[in-house]
A and B are shown apart, each in its own frame.
Chain A
């Protein structure tokens, strides 16, 4: 089993963090993993994407160019990457940020108004986690308990209160039927 996952959006949308959570989940389950950020000189607001490969085999190239699973949080990323999803793959789109729709029928696309859902539930900046919740719900690659462990590992003590918020965001995504 190999999952090649690409997460993309603007800097500051928590792209790398969401990718990191997936990577940690895989670590807890003893998988081979590579997590690779694209990096730019702009600290915030630049183009940002993150390649995560999870596999039972040693991983070759860590760059995910043709993802099995794509998570997009902005329009430019949608335009750039929707065409690259492997046939049979799945795409998770923040429809509050992306107006476009794909005409591809060989992939499954889930439009989730993640930013809107997060804002409506006092979970500002939680769109990344909402989409992650949808991804986990649709693929079942990791359980929510595993994600909680990953959150605990990646949340500094002084921000521990955000763990429950993130779990709520995860559930919102999972429950969204759109």
Chain B
């Protein structure tokens, strides 16, 4: 297929339709707008459902309903909207139903700004609602990877019966790049054991539910979910490494920021600084083993983020604090520049020698 130029948000929407997504429920918010507008146009023409709900709260609960029937379904929003959705996300996780949730992050807290940010790392990886649960969090860094990860997100969600979040940001959502849509035949996992889609009087009724009145029953349920999580941590972590083999300094960065970091690494190499880039593609599960492998010759680590330092916690934990980990970030919707990151690398390089 020939390459086309598309914005990240639009490419994501197109990829979702191609991945067999049948329903979209959303509520307007910048900077995810192009995504829902694209689906509003395309879904009715291509046999899908687009519905603009009265609120993010309603939208995520519509997702719960559609997911409960075993239908491929998604929603998208941006930071403040994800906060509103967190109630429903907790119920979806507690009901063990799959869906795709897109967060095109913007600055916060509160109404914040509409510019790109990665301030929802903690929220996405640790606090998407009340209770013991995780979402698989995918963090692409190019429009092409957005497309590739959408299908994977649906597949992973169905494989493990859980919600999956694709963490984008204003930069990735608004940016146009050439993109190719791989030929895929969407294959939905068998959901006949749990979907609430009518008994046809052929089986016991299915109950999609997160309530367990007996504490021991709930504990049992949560533990079983954590067994699945353990398997995911073992098998589904993904990361990209760039020039890490001989690197003295490893820059860790995800999503759009990893591109800034890559530019900085290239500039640093040109100056003779042995820098490399480690980019987690899954933020949960965090690619711990991969990071340790990438850091085998490193003397220092620099976490570069579009926030005040959130992923750095996971970097330190993964490395068990055996290497010094420093931080550089811009926040509020400001994108760090390669130059600023290079400056940090120069400082670290001086310190490391």
Which A residues contact B (CB, under 8 angstroms)? 20, 23-24, 27, 32-37, 39-41, 59-63, 65
Q: Does B88 contact A (CB under 8 A)?
A: no
Q: Is the CB of B338 within 8 A of A60?
A: yes
Q: Is the CB of B263 within 8 A of A35?
A: no
Q: Which of B30, B170, B175, B339 is most buried by chain A, counting CB atoms within 10 A of its CB? A: B175
Q: Is the CB of B335 within 8 A of A63?
A: yes
Min CB gap A76→B, angstroms? 18
Contacts A33-B5, A39-B31 known; A62 to B114 CB distance under 8 Å?
A: no
Q: Does B232 contact A (CB under 8 A)?
A: no
Select which of A41, A60, A63 is within 8 A of B30 by beta carbon.
Answer: A41
Min CB gap A101→B, angstroms? 27
Q: How long is the Cα–Cα vector from A60 to B337 in the complex, in angstroms?
A: 11
Select which of B5, B114, B170, B256 is within 8 A of A24 by beta carbon.
Answer: B5
With A39-B30, A59-B259, A63-B260 known, 14 other A-B pairs at CB within 8 A are A23-B5, A23-B176, A24-B5, A27-B4, A27-B5, A33-B5, A35-B175, A36-B176, A39-B174, A60-B260, A60-B262, A62-B177, A62-B259, A65-B337
Contacts A39-B31, A62-B171 known; A34 to B262 CB distance under 8 Å?
A: no
Contacts A23-B5, A33-B5, A41-B30 known; A60 to B266 CB distance under 8 Å?
A: yes
Min CB gap A17→B, angstroms? 12
Interfacial chain A residues near B262, Cβ < 8 Å: 60-61
Min CB gap A58→B, angstroms? 8
Q: Is the CB of B259 within 8 A of A60?
A: yes
Select which of A37, A39, A59, A61 is within 8 A of B337 by beta carbon.
Answer: A61
Q: Does B178 contact A (CB under 8 A)?
A: yes
Q: How long is the Cα–Cα vector from A65 to B334 in the complex, in angstroms?
A: 13
Interfacial chain B residues near A60, Cβ < 8 Å: 259-260, 262-263, 266, 338
Q: Is the CB of A62 within 8 A of B5?
A: no
Contacts A23-B5, A27-B5, A35-B5 known; A61 to B259 CB distance under 8 Å?
A: yes
Q: Does B3 contact A (CB under 8 A)?
A: yes
How many A-B pairs fall under 8 Å by CB?
Answer: 61
Min CB gap B241→A, angstroms? 15
Interfacial chain B residues near A24, Cβ < 8 Å: 5
Q: How long is the Cα–Cα vector from A27 to B338 in the complex, in angstroms?
A: 25
Interfacial chain B residues near A59, Cβ < 8 Å: 177, 259
A-B contact pairs, 27 of them (CB 8 A): A20-B5, A24-B5, A27-B4, A32-B178, A33-B5, A33-B176, A33-B177, A34-B177, A35-B5, A35-B176, A36-B175, A36-B176, A39-B114, A39-B174, A41-B30, A41-B114, A59-B259, A60-B260, A60-B262, A61-B259, A61-B260, A61-B337, A61-B338, A62-B256, A62-B259, A65-B337, A65-B339
Q: How long is the Cα–Cα vector from A62 to B335 in the complex, in angstroms?
A: 10
8 A Cβ contacts from B166-194 to A: 170-171, 174-178
Q: Which residue of B lies closest to A32 (CB)?
A: B178
Which 9 pairs across A and B sit closest by C-beta, in order of nearness? A60-B263, A35-B176, A61-B260, A60-B262, A61-B263, A36-B175, A60-B259, A61-B259, A27-B5
Q: Which residue of B lies closest to A24 (CB)?
A: B5
Min CB gap B291→A, angstroms? 21
Select which of A35, A39, A40 is within 8 A of B177 by beta carbon.
Answer: A35
Q: Which residue of A lies closest to B266 (CB)?
A: A60
Q: How long is the Cα–Cα vector from A40 to B170 in the complex, in angstroms?
A: 12
Q: Which residue of B lies closest to A60 (CB)?
A: B263
Q: How long is the Cα–Cα vector from A27 to B5 in the complex, in angstroms?
A: 7
Q: Is the CB of A63 within 8 A of B177?
A: no
Q: Is the CB of B263 within 8 A of A20?
A: no
Min CB gap A84→B, angstroms? 11
Interfacial chain B residues near A34, Cβ < 8 Å: 175-177
Q: Which of B176, B177, B256, B260 is most buried by chain A, counting CB atoms within 10 A of its CB? A: B176
